[in-house]
Chains A and B, each alone.
Chain A
């Protein structure tokens, strides 16, 4: 087999690694703005952050279409997800249950993904935003369920207008996409219920 076609291994211990990763994701979404370590490492294909890969291994399967940027979809990352998750990789962002986007790239906008409908708001896309860092950027103050008072986050190098998109998404509540900001082995939840109080 050629080197370029090789598919890396997935979980070495699927039951307990997916359980541990899920608890980190549950903590991240139930306490928005809190960076949680996913606690599991796998050999990650090019283009996916380690926490992105673990999150999709934990949650995605044949029931959940995944949207990836075209370069990832046609590369080793796409092959890796098809093999390990059995998930369909879709081109239309509005059909995706999970999506991976690069925080610096201007397209697609969050509004391109599925926000659910008023009777089934749970059918919305969960968007994994791969960031250059989760601390050290411009401070953003959050408020909402899961946050006692207010919480400040400072992810770095996000595209211009990103926080305005998040505000528009939160305004759709109870509809909207749910976000996981991802860097290295860290995930930080930004569900639709979280409100942006101020950006500095």
Chain B
């Protein structure tokens, strides 16, 4: 007896299109429009129970479910990769509930739902980025009370954040925040860019794409419209800097992408590879070769492509 069953069309769950009911979508859509009108401000919304645990992207899924339609092509990435658990299951969720067309190609997608990365390929006008956000409040670690952080945003009282960055510099000689690096949006609101590496922060500045942020557990939605100023907080004598690596990607040789460190044995061996899996594959298909591509192909870690 086999325990595997294929899902036929009749067996598909009889949910409303894109899972959420229409009243919930209207509520999320109203929050999204206000979020777009006040870039960087966190709009409270009635986050729903989703068929996966909070912390697994329920905010991003609710935003995507409220905007997706039959004309859309969806790409989902988790830490830059299209083929990790979270990305695969969310993509499958929308294939089942919204008959979504999905893709791994950044330039073919109209909606890109992401956990913790912005793709390397430049975003285009008309594309919508949907970020999964665990903690939407950039001031939360400095001030635990919502009533207080709300006032700090209302009065643009962001001195505490500058002091935190200053203390980093005083103690370590540099700002040690490497991900979820706070940004100032449209010169008014300090915003958490979600836990993307600070390497990706400059991609948000004046991006031609619309950027939407959903935090399911914390029940907040916020947005950055296209062509909006997104400035990483810094000091004149300690300007904002992004990460850099001493070696290029071991698979595709890219020297300008965000690299993950992969431990490959117990002898201290390691390799650096692009975190954006589609970007890396595209470059390899174009004939770019990294120093360890041969080894990786031989050991079956990477599919051999001519």
Contact = CB atoms under 8 A, between A and B. Distances in A.
B193 interface: no
Interface string A170-182: 0001100010000
Contact of B41 (A19, A23, A26, A122): A122
A61 B29 CA distance: 12
A146 B31 CA distance: 18
A130 interface: no
A15 B43 contact: no
A59 B27 CA distance: 8
A146 B226 contact: yes
B36 A29 contact: yes
B122 interface: no
Given A15-B17, A26-B67, A119-B150, A146 B41 contact: no
A185 B140 CA distance: 44
B225 A30 contact: yes
Contacts of B22: 14-15, 18
Nearest to A191: B37
Nearest to B228: A145
B141 to A, nearest CB: 21
B242 interface: no
Interface in A110-140: 118-122, 124, 126
B69 A16 contact: yes
Contact of A122 (B27, B43, B69, B229): B43
A61 B23 CA distance: 8
A25 B30 CA distance: 10
Nearest to B23: A61
Contacts, number: 107
B77 interface: no
B27 A63 contact: yes
Interface size class of A (residues with CB under 8 A): 35 or more
Interface string A3-18: 0000000000011101
A193 interface: yes
B154 A119 contact: yes
A110 to B, nearest CB: 14
B26 A61 contact: yes
B154 A118 contact: yes
Nearest to A175: B38
A31 interface: yes
Contacts of A23: 67, 69
Interface in B214-230: 223-229
B285 interface: no
A17 to B, nearest CB: 10
Interface of A: 14-16, 18-20, 22-23, 25-26, 29-31, 58-61, 63-64, 97, 118-122, 124, 126, 144-148, 173-174, 178, 191-193
12 contacts: A22-B25, A23-B67, A30-B225, A31-B226, A58-B26, A61-B23, A119-B151, A121-B38, A122-B43, A148-B227, A173-B188, A193-B186
Interface of B: 16-17, 22-23, 25-27, 29-39, 41, 43-44, 66-70, 150-151, 153-155, 186, 188-189, 206, 208, 210, 223-229
